[in-house]
Structure 1
Amino acid sequence: MRSDYKELDKTKTYLITGAAGFIGYFLAKRLLERGCRVIGIDNINDYYDVALKHARLEELGKPTDSSGQFTFIKGDISDKEMVNHLFNKYRPNIVVNLAAQAGVRYSIENPDAYIQSNIIGFFNILEACRHSYAETNNPNSDYKGIEHLVYASSSSVYGANKKVPFAEDDFVDKPVSLYAATKKSNELMAYNYSHLYKIPATGLRFFTVYGPMGRPDMAYFSFSQKIMAGEPIKVFNHGDMYRDFTYIDDIVTGVEKILCNPPNEDEMQARHKVYNIGNNKPEQLMYFIETLEKALSKAVGRSVTARKEYLPMQMGDVPGTYADITALERDFDFKPSASIEDGLLKFAQWFIRGQA
């Protein structure tokens, strides 16, 4: 672990963009349970069912035994004026940018959404951080500026790399989807702002996050919907695929450990770092489906089997992902631990309760 490692600071103000999203919701919930002040922003777009996003926000708004305070603002990070107003009003200490247009396949159908949110939106966050960070040089201000920007990257940046497991210093300049290209762009933009303006920033390459209240467009969720409706599921690349599935609680614990530990300067005087957060244990797609069938069977109390439709590889998709998490373990003494069996069972139990 880093010799200068710091525990989560409850006195800080945490701004989470994409707070109604899957990871944003669970991170906000964890910080509130720790007694932190959380400012959440989300545009509540209709990429998937907005009822799920509203349900997450409703949970965050419920009173708890902790002293955490949650404030929600409906807004879009591609609106620069709104972002600047938000920073000026709430003066966050730590910013977690999770707002983004997600999905590899959707980036082929609707590329404009990715440029608007993932490029323009992220640029607006960087600019707001830059102006806030400049406050540290103002002797008349008691605001310490942005102490750390943590932002979501993705395992998609590795594209179709043959070398596994994927390590942070691997070559990632040949993305196979626009989504991946925008995430790599985020890393380059954040590094540049860190180099020029000394903004401490950490990018997190998430590997296939799953769990209760997750995204309906993800395979485990859409598979469950189709299986329980008696419809066939689409198995791409004829099942010859594997993914490093990472349970949501592990993701949130990893992010929590990083929040109050901005990177030190590198040889270019940039305070920027990128980490993989994955389970470090890829699962074959067919085993994943078999495990999901068992989990749904347990949750519903009867045997459940998926009807499968085998198809070629989808455009923009990759055959496998596999995270090297050596750096995460070294710097934060943390390694995801949830098994796919336990994680899918928890998801299935939540999913079936929602169907009742």
Structure 2
Amino acid sequence: MRTVGVEEELLLVDPETGEARARSGAVLARVAQDDVDQDVFEKELHEQMLEFATHPQSDMGDLGAEIVRCRKEAARHAGKIGCAVAALATSPLPVSPAVGIHRRYQWMEEQYGIATQEQLVLGCHVHVCVESDEEGVAVVDRVRPWLAVLSALSANSPFWQGKDTSYSSYRSRVWQRWPSAGPTEIFGSAQRYHQRVADMLATGTILDEAMAYFDARLSRNYPTVEIRVADVCLHAETAVLVATLARGLVETAAREWRAGREPADHSVSLLRLAAWRAARSGLTEVLLHPAVMRPAPAETVVRALLEHVGEALADSGDLDRAQESCDRLLRRGNGARVQRELLKRTGSLRDVVVECVRHTQT
């Protein structure tokens, strides 16, 4: 059974006004005082962000329980300094992002300017273990067409600087401002993958290997494929669904590789269009069907993903739970839909944030 770990980035907000607060250093100081979660929480690019990482889990129920626990612990630590945490992929209210003082972050701000200053976006990264770099690159090559579907399921960033963007995942559009971000061509081997990263480093455009911001990549620190397309999900259940489907995609891709099946030869241009469509539509309109790269209803495409990974999910015992979770998500809508419905009901972005603070721990 492949193990899975999840990294989530949470937004620090004022519990009364809903405004983002640059207090990650103070929260981490409280964590250090407790001396229990120091290996779980860490800083991110902006001071309004707090990241946590779960331990590798083979059982999705255990993974879900740990995500909920980490979210509640983040809320507890933040609460001690008068903050709250919200699983929102962008701040609905206007914000002036504060770049952290770490040397790496200062280099990024100097090199990339406003693109760094505006990167107050919060994602969910899923790590799925692989046996080798060769298997990992074979997986990266074969999951490419399906990643936009994960983006649509997780979409949770409709608002930017106090305005509706008309996107379901505006986070993903902001993320594309990094020079190395986005879908990749087919690598074909681990040697070609590593050579491509080395060539990128040699340009001086990125600081290190960790800045190869591919949609799916080999982890620098763990024996995993890291899938990086998802918004941080409003509900923990959705994060577990994304992780479940990610593991299903990795296992399915590895089986295809071992069986000698070639990856779908979709161009990067088409993959970028699929990613844009998912960001724009979420689950409300059409997506590009990964098999043919033509428009199809979002629900049809989600069902196609479930069918594609169905055998792997059945073998891991996750199929029924994944189907039920997909059904609930399609009925309720993703985080973007929930946020828009909250705004329609309350008429206040402040109330949207306050309500999403509650959703974050459920």
Q: Which structure shows the bigger proportion of residues in helix conformation?
A: 2
Greater relative contact order structure (CA < 8 Å, 6+ sep):
2
Q: Same fold (TM over 0.5)?
A: no
Q: TM-score, normalised by structure 1?
A: 0.31
Q: TM-score, normalised by structure 2?
A: 0.30
